Chains A and B, each alone.
Chain A
Amino acid sequence: MNASQSSRHRRVGDSPAIKWLLIVTAVAVAIALLIMPLLVIFVEALGAGWGTLADNLTDQYTLHAIGLTLFVAALTVPLNLVFGTALAWLVTRFRFPGRKLLITLIDIPFAVSPVVAGLLYLLLYGRNGWVGSWLADYDMQLMFSWPGIVMVTVFVTCPFVARELIPLMQQQGSEEEEAGVVLGASGWRIFRTITLPNIKWALIYGVVLTNARAVGEFGAVSVVSGNIRGQTNTLPLHVELLYQDYNIVGAFASASLLAGIAVFTLAVKGFVEWRQTRTLNRLQTEETA
């Protein structure tokens, strides 16, 4: 049916010349904008040999930056995993006033520039902020130390898990869970034996995205970090610092680590996506059956 339609209405890209032109353009753009910069990172990092690369990566401050970045991600990911799952569960399994508004609010971190987000936290939790001045009376400080970095990272990455789960859970519907309720299962048991297996791959996908963003976040962290080397300098901030010192090899060495994490993330993401499509296809065949 499709074939006969397209033979009557010719589409853009049907002629071989245009088809090849489009393919070549797309490939050229991908190479120029995506692949070349990625290659440059590794080429520059290795520019002075493996020894220099190793020296730069084992520098005391670089090691600390790596550790801090992983630590922040290790706190951010579980927090957003729980938050995102609970939120997706709430908005797809229950009807209540303000539900649509809540779904919209989830996207705020996507809509707000990270730098602005950082500033908002600073104005709220800084020494002169509403909450910050109150905390300062108890000698507690969140900004310019690791709790502040974790806070903004959680903010910036909080939509990823929920955004992955909501469409899937909406599509799956709640029949299976309702059956569980009728059969007298507890809420926790329903979640563990029905919901969780169904959303597993979407959940992992959300976690992968959250982790990638948490590791690479620059703007918001830059505002609240205080940039203290060896204390509050995360890996992306460390790259900037090295670059400003004209330590190009060092900067690219650290950048290559971030790029390495990104490439690894892509691989995991590809695998999870493939699994997820299989789950969705299975669901659809079950529905039609």
Chain B
Amino acid sequence: MPSKLKGLFTGLALSASLFAQPAVSADRELLNTSYDIARELFAAYNVHFNQYWEEKTGETLEVSQSHAGSSKQAQAIIQGLKADVATFNQVTDIDILHARGGLIPENWAERLPNNSSPYYSTMAFLVRKGNPKNIQNWDDLIKEDVALVMPNPKTSGNGRYTYLAALGYAQDRFGDDQNKIDSFLQDFLAHVKVFDSGGRGATTTFIEREIGDVLLTFESEVLNLADRYDNGEYEVVTPKVSFLAEFPVTWIDEYVKQNKTEDLAKAYLEHLYSEDAQRLLAGFNYRVHNETVKQETSDRFPEVKLLPIDVIAGSWENATKEHFASGGKLDQLQRRR
């Protein structure tokens, strides 16, 4: 009996070393926490960066990836997930790493170019084959027989971006006329047939369940979907005015100190701005800052007047308080329907 038990424990210890520990074959390791749909993007970037780093320093790298909703990831980092870098799709989720975790300095956004957002996107429309309802811009969405599908602004960042994009269009068109802005938004919300809880759910509703005439979500997602069904079943419409959706990145000061990866983490993020990396990002349908790559991809990313959050709502904090909090503008506009 004891010898059997001994065997069992040896077996367990062995499998523990096999499965519970990372397979360390590289000189150095890095952990990148990211949002849920960025896995393929960073899988591709990691290959690219590993090569670059080995050529530069001779060290081999193992970059691990963790993916989940970016608010959940922020919470995990605060509770002790020792990630070296965070690559998120919402500025507020990085802000709380400072505000509630004290893990990064307040001025994190100033440490890398373009507000620490190496790539960005905007909100766009996906319509059905031949664009039967002739959707070209935001005002076409409130035509009588148009049904919209979008993620719920209450539960998803994606939905909030879409709402703010519509608000930005209304401000751009009606100027200071608050009544006209409100009435446009009210009309717009009334045309939404399904509010899904998240971006992927809205996609499923539009594609699988075939509900609605227009799907509103990130341009990157819309372009991916159009690529996936390349028989022209869906068409992409980019409105003339939209919201600047930033994809912020940061290294996590507290943990890179502990993990002794500060130089590596910084290089990992800085290299995202290099021409090759920017080309790779554009390949995943994100808009980038590099001028050469911009030229190359201009047919894919038409000129859009992009409004940042400061212009539309002052700041993220204000936007949350004024529009999305319980009893805020979003609630009022939907109730008046």
Contact = CB atoms under 8 A, between A and B. Distances in A.
A70 B19 CA distance: 9
Interface stretch (A35-43, A92-100, A225-233): A225-233
Contact of B78 (A127, A222, A231): A127
A143 B76 CA distance: 9
A198 interface: no
B311 interface: no
Interface residues of A, number: 31
Contacts of A71: 12, 15-16, 19-20
Interface in B13-28: 15-16, 18-23
Given A228-B31, A229-B64, A67 B80 contact: no
Interface stretch (B36-44, B48-56, B127-135): B36-44
A266 B289 CA distance: 56
B81 interface: yes
A129 interface: yes
B67 A144 contact: no
Q: Which size class do B's interface residues fall under?
A: 20 to 34
A123 to B, nearest CB: 8
Contact of A141 (B15, B40, B78, B80): B80
Nearest to A145: B20
Contacts of B15: 67, 70-71, 74
A141 B79 contact: no
A230 B39 contact: no
Given A227-B67, A228-B31, A244-B200, A136 B19 contact: no
Given A68-B19, A230-B23, A241-B39, A127 B80 contact: yes
Nearest to A228: B66
B16 A226 contact: no
Given A228-B65, A244-B37, A74 B79 contact: no
A67 B65 contact: no
Given A241-B39, A244-B39, A122 B200 contact: no
A145 B15 CA distance: 15
A126 interface: yes
A226 B76 contact: yes
A126 B19 contact: no
B304 to A, nearest CB: 26
Nearest to B224: A246
Contacts of B37: 244-245
A193 interface: no
A67 B79 contact: no
B82 interface: yes
A74 B8 CA distance: 10
Contact of B67 (A64, A127, A136, A229): A229
A68 B82 CA distance: 20
A228 B42 CA distance: 13
A236 interface: no
Interface in B78-99: 78-82
A207 to B, nearest CB: 15
Nearest to A226: B81
A122 B79 contact: yes
A75 interface: yes
Contacts of A84: none
Contact of B12 (A75, A126, A128, A230): A75
Contacts of A136: 80
A210 B76 CA distance: 27
B68 interface: yes
B88 to A, nearest CB: 14
Contacts of B20: 68, 71, 145-146
Residue with the greatest number of chain A CB neighbours at <10 A, chosen from B19, B21, B39, B68: B19
A132 interface: yes
A132 B80 contact: yes
Contact of A228 (B12, B23, B40, B64): B64
Contact of A231 (B64, B76, B79): B64
A146 B12 CA distance: 13
B228 interface: yes
Nearest to B40: A245
Interface string A125-145: 011110010001000010111
A230 B31 CA distance: 12
Contacts of A68: 19-20
A136 B258 CA distance: 12
Given A128-B80, A226-B81, 6 more contacts: A132-B79, A144-B79, A144-B81, A145-B20, A146-B19, A241-B39
Interface of B: 12, 15-16, 18-23, 31, 36-37, 39-40, 64-68, 76, 78-82, 200, 228
Interface of A: 64, 67-68, 70-71, 74-75, 122-123, 126-129, 132, 136, 141, 143-146, 222, 226-231, 241, 244-246
The 3 closest A-B pairs by CB, nearest first: A126-B79, A127-B80, A67-B19
22 contacts: A67-B15, A67-B19, A68-B20, A70-B15, A71-B12, A74-B15, A75-B12, A122-B79, A127-B78, A128-B79, A141-B80, A146-B20, A228-B65, A229-B67, A230-B22, A231-B22, A231-B64, A241-B39, A241-B67, A244-B36, A245-B39, A246-B228
